[in-house]
Structure 1
Amino acid sequence: MAPPAVEPVPGEPAATADLGDERALVVADYHAGIEVGLRYERGVELASNADARRERLLSLLDRIGAERVVVLGDIGHRIGNPKGDERDELVALFDALDSRDVPLTLVAGNHDGGVADAFEDRIDVTPGDGVRMGNVGFLHGHTWPSQEVLRAETVCMGHEHVTVKLQDSVGGGRVESAWLRGPLRREMFAEHLGVDDGTFEWADPELVVFPVFNERSGGTWVNVDGQEFLSPFLPEGLESGELYLLDGTRLGDYRTV
């Protein structure tokens, strides 16, 4: 049996992806410069964690020996043109990858318009509805995927910052990042794309929703009543979905955890 095209890195909010001719390190929602955003958005003062974020990514890159980095959207935090600390953090990251001769593909997210314009000569930026590389489709998740993305056997997305709230038998609780995986519902995507369901090219893809890479970002508590998904095709586009902790622990159906 062939190994899975997308394999989580144990204990990390990252995965490896077999792109056919390359092996990629894939992460979602890097949110460079988030500390500046938190200061202005919420009045929270935090020292920059830029160096630690970069070194964590580079350590993962060295650990798995990937030939490309794919970021599933929101590499920067500011929606507009990056400047100040955020720009400095991005430049340092791109310089570090250049020194390793490792290209970066940014799957455009809702925070990335300014980044794409500012660094178009340094990184590859996909359309907002995603890209297919080998047999893996990638999108951020703030828009519907293209038909080409849906022809892949595995579709990877970010955007949701998947988080699960766990409680023990004595009422204690904790919140952890998680993976959400499950098959997509064919008829819903065919209808959105205006394609006849009977002739719709479909590889019966598994959706892999990535945990957030930036530990200072909030998340969607997918097992808490009243929480809503951010993506326009979730949760209705999932036939079913299972949660996994970063250490690989299977929690089961996200609706009953």
Structure 2
Amino acid sequence: MTPTDPGQQGPLVEPVPGAPAAVATLHDERALVIADYHAGYEAGLRIERGVDVPSKAESRRERLLSLLERTSVGRLIVCGDLMHSIGDPGGAERGELEVLFESLPSKLSVTLVKGNHDGAIGAWLEGCEIVPGSGTRVADVGVCHGHTWPAREVLESRVVCLGHEHPCVRLEDEVGGSRVEPAWLRGRLEPAAFRGRDEYAGLEWLEGDPARTGSRPVESPAIVVLPAFNELVGGTWINVAGQSFLAPFLPAGIARGEAYLLDGTRLGPYRSV
């Protein structure tokens, strides 16, 4: 499975087999891209729902460090929700992130796209570049969180990566059993969902008129919705009727959407899985 732009310049974003992470090629560097780390989630469960779940902070950290070593990248990009609490973090959550950043390779650069859970993270977290949730463009890859409309520069990229949805598929076997698996969701941005918004006026793939110009329409960017890095957080069952998507531009904003499991298994059009 390669949820990327299949253009002639080659793939820009490729999933890491078996992991909720991808490697992006950014001209002269490579980056590991993840979303929805949700540090401190277990503490949140205790406070919000009264559910006592042992902390998986150490295993989350080790999984991420292992992926960084495995992929040999120079940058880490987090597409939002690095932490879980929407307001100020509690001691366990803040401590988890401080230990994580102390453990990262010294030469690794980190970019965090602020998610709706990241609150005032910039006031205390050191060691990373923090950009608004509407996102930014890094070389030919646009990254955003997904809880708000993307910045214009994100939609000027070749591939748009986002989190927020925590996409999952509900799979049934022949005897009626079922299970829920995290999944990748990929396709193309659907122009109709973005037309008419002033901030996108003039984008060629939105407003090109082949009938008037005599040219072929410019293909819209590829879109990659990343599975949540935190395996406890649940998510949107993208193949179950009646499920509401979280991003304001989904599902209307994705065309030819297909689902893939973390091991690369192609499930086909996500609506019919």
In the alignment, what sits opposite 2:222? 206
CA contact (8 A) 1:165 1:174 kept: yes
Give, as a single letter, the amino acid of the residue that structure 2 aligns with 1:160. E
Q: Distance in 1 between matches of 2:208 and 2:118?
A: 34
In the alignment, what sits opposite 2:188? 183
Deviates more, 1:152-161 or 1:109-118: 109-118
Q: Which residue, 132, 138, 161 being the options, matches 1:133?
A: 138
Is 1:251 equivalent to 2:267 in the alignment? yes
In the alignment, what sits opposite 1:157? 162
SS at match of 2:37: coil
Number of residue pairs matched by the alignment: 255
Deviations 1:34-91 (Å, cap 9, x if unpaired)?
0110111111101111011001000000001010111110000011122300000000
Report the Cα offset of residue 173 of structure 1.
1.1
Query: Equivalent residues in 2 for 1:229-248 (5 A)?
Result: 229-248=245-264
Q: Which residue, 100, 111, 117 being the options, matches 1:111?
A: 117
Is 1:122 equivalent to 2:127 in the alignment? yes
Q: Which residue, 227, 232, 237 being the options, matches 1:221?
A: 237
- Aligned-pair identity in percent equals 55
Runs of 4+ in 1 over 6 A off after TM superposition: none
Is 1:48 equivalent to 2:64 in the alignment? no
Q: Distance in 2 between matches of 1:53 and 1:249?
A: 24
CA contact (8 A) 2:80 2:133 kept: no
CA contact (8 A) 1:155 1:207 kept: yes
Report the Cα offset of residue 100 of structure 1.
3.1
Report the Cα offset of residue 203 of structure 1.
5.8
Q: TM-score, normalised by structure 1?
A: 0.95
Q: Distance in 2 between matches of 1:124 and 1:67?
A: 14
Q: Distance in 1 between matches of 2:170 and 2:12?
A: 29
In the alignment, what sits opposite 2:4? none
In the alignment, what sits opposite 1:144? 149
Give, as a single letter, the amino acid of the residue that structure 1 aligns with 2:136. V
Report the Cα offset of residue 198 of structure 1.
2.8
CA contact (8 A) 1:81 1:118 kept: no
Give, as a single letter, the amino acid of the residue that structure 2 aligns with 1:106. L
* Structure 2: gaps spanning 5 or more residues: 1-7, 210-216
Query: Equivalent residues in 2 for 1:8-157 (5 A)?
Result: 8-97=15-104, 99-119=105-125, 121-157=126-162
> Over aligned residues, Cα RMSD in angstroms?
1.7
Q: TM-score, normalised by structure 2?
A: 0.89
SS at match of 1:90: helix
Q: Distance in 2 between matches of 1:3 and 1:103?
A: 24
CA contact (8 A) 1:165 1:224 kept: yes
Q: Distance in 2 between matches of 1:193 and 1:145?
A: 13
Distance 1:123 1:203, change over 3 A: farther
Q: Distance in 1 between matches of 2:124 and 2:246?
A: 26
Give, as a single letter, the amino acid of the residue that structure 2 aligns with 1:193. D
SS at match of 1:165: strand
